[in-house]
Amino acid sequence: MTDKTDRKLLTRRGALKTVAAGGAAAASLPLWARFTEAQTSAPIRIGFQQHVTGIGAAYGRWYGRTTEAAAKLINEMGGINGRPVEIVAEDDGTDPKRGAEVVEKFANQHKVDVVFGTLFSHVVMGSAPRAGELKMPYYVVSEGHHVASGALNRYTLQPGITDVKSQVRAMAPFVLGNLGKKVTMIFPDYAFGHDHRDFFTEAVREGGGEVVAHIAIPPTETSFTRYFPKIPRETEVLYHVMVGPAVLTFVKELGEFFGPSRPEMFGFIDSLEAVDIASPGLEFLEGTYFWEGNPRYAQPDQSPYDRFFRERVGVDENGASVTDPRDVSTYSHMFGCWETLFVIKQAMEACGYRGPQDRPALIEATEAITEMPHSNEHPQGPKIFNGRTHQVFGVQYISRVEDRRLNVKHVAPIEDGLYPDEVDYTTQPL
């Protein structure tokens, strides 16, 4: 970086450190004083497409808490362009068809400025085309490779959370170098799981290993025992990623099947999101490894940004609600809502967003974002946004289960998850 760039980043970092103090000071002002600089006092309306019901409900609950906390902080800071932020939530049922209907409702009934929040990739795939047709900025907080693959449109962006392709490319060297070369994969049978299947298989092959079996499971399955005999005896590493309300059943049945003799195991924390690792029946996970998007347990070297994020959202050092230790968060994913809202704020302020007529300028302003320093706005870690592919890249964490908690053992840098562009959305008309 040039000296000029260094100074710019340092100035920005210094400004970000004042977020908490500035927010507290602003909160002491009456509402009329916080928003007097705006040309209009009308709120910025953000449509929150939330998985309140369906298989994504646990995620939707914590996405909601995180969104509310971020919006509250933004308003304490003076809002966006001097205007308050208003979150308008609609349940999509974690259903693709309903998701498209929700996007339509946001545009035509609620008259929101942008839509954000969708997690499950099949819902994104069902909703994004309608957002593109409506020219509605659609900021997803998913992990599928659908955005960066070029399968969607210029109005769909993923600037707050990394995608599966980046995650598995960063994880594969650790798995092959420390756990084994012959891998069996268990994954949900829809777009998100297929991304894991395709990209991890490719990364294993590139690293000199072999995926000896793919076991796809319907995401609505409630019992899994009948799938486990398909695991080949030659398996050295069992790679698992499961989602939905039956994840606790999945990991318990996995332990019952293997007993004391199991292969090495590498899971994506999706298999245990919102699940207490100390739950009875999960003892067999001791010594196994997990990818984490954001470490659930506060680590000895916890950053002040992670501490700030936990305090604002109401999460304790074990990743559970401060009011109920049994209410375990979806900590590896929900930070994406927080970070995405701050990206929207940054882009709206950069383009001087006033209303729907400025949506094309908002897309261009988001595309112009590059570096995102580790900060209160980006508590998971530093990031780089690729405006051509509309995808963000960040650090990845590998943790090991030790004494019923997850301890970080490896942090993969941003560079480990980079891959060549597959699309340039900036060439598409707005």
Taking only the tens place, the pLDDT of each residue in 348-385 is 999 999 999 999 999 999 999 999 999 999 999 999 99
Q: Which domain holds residue 138?
A: 3-162+331-394
Domain check: are 245 and 176 in the same one? yes
| pLDDT given for residue 393 in this prediction | 98
Higher pLDDT, 12 or 110: 110
CB atoms within 10 A of CB 205: 12
Full DSSP string of 370-401: -EE-SSSSSTT--EEEETTTTEEEE-EEEEEE
Task: Tell me how far apart the alpha carbons of residues 140 and 63 are, in angstroms, rounded to a whole number.
Answer: 12
For 313, other C-beta atoms within 10 Å of its C-beta total 24
At 35, the pLDDT band (50, 70, 90 cuts) reads low
* Total tally of structural domains belonging to the chain: 2
- If asked whether residues 139 and 263 sit together in one domain, one would say no
Residues 288 and 385 in one domain: no
With respect to residue 195, please indicate whether it lies within any of the assigned structural domains: yes
- What tokens appear for 353 in the block? 């967003």
pLDDT value of position 358: 98
Task: Give CA–CA dist 212/210, Å, rounded.
Answer: 6
* Cβ within 8 Å of residue 381, ≥6 positions away: 374, 394, 395
pLDDT at 25 over 60: no
Q: Burial of 136 by CB count in 10 Å (0-12 exposed, 13-18 middle, 19+ buried)? A: buried
pLDDT digit string, tens, across residues 98-135:
999 999 999 999 999 999 999 999 999 999 999 999 99
Q: Where are the alpha helices (DSSP H) in 207-330?
A: 247-258, 304-313
Asked whether residue 29 falls in the same domain as residue 120, the answer is yes
Question: Is 277 within a domain?
Answer: yes
244 lies in a domain?
yes
Closest CA to 291 of 395, 192, 158: 395
Residues 42 and 40: their CA atoms lie apart, in Å, by: 5
pLDDT of residue 9: 38
Let me know whether 377 and 405 are in one domain: no
**CB contact at 8 A, 339 and 162:** no
In a domain, 242, yes or no: yes
Which CATH number fits the domain that encloses residue 234? 3.40.50.2300
The number of beta carbons lying within 10 Å of the beta carbon of residue 299 is 15
425 within domain boundaries: no
* Residue 278 placed within a domain: yes
Locate tokens 């309300």: which residue? 245
Residue 152 and residue 24 in one domain:
yes
For residues 137 and 87, membership in a common domain is answered with yes
d(CA 292, CA 330): 10
Q: What Cα–Cα distance (Å) separates residue 375 from each residue in 20, 203, 338, 359?
A: 11, 31, 12, 27
* 306 in any annotated domain: no
Phi-psi category of residue 253: left, alpha or beta, with phi > 0 → left and psi -120 to 50 → alpha: alpha
For 166-199, the DSSP string reads HHHHHHHHHHHHHT-SEEEEEEESSHHHHHHHHH
Residues 109, 154, single domain; the answer is yes
Please check whether residues 173 and 151 belong to one and the same domain: no
Check whether residue 267 and residue 402 sit in a common domain: yes
Q: Does residue 308 lie in a domain region?
A: no
In a shared domain, residues 56 and 123 = yes
Residues 385 and 404 in one domain: no
pTM of the model as a whole = 0.89
Query: Are 304 and 374 within 8 A, CB to CB?
Result: no
**What's the pLDDT score for residue 37?**
56
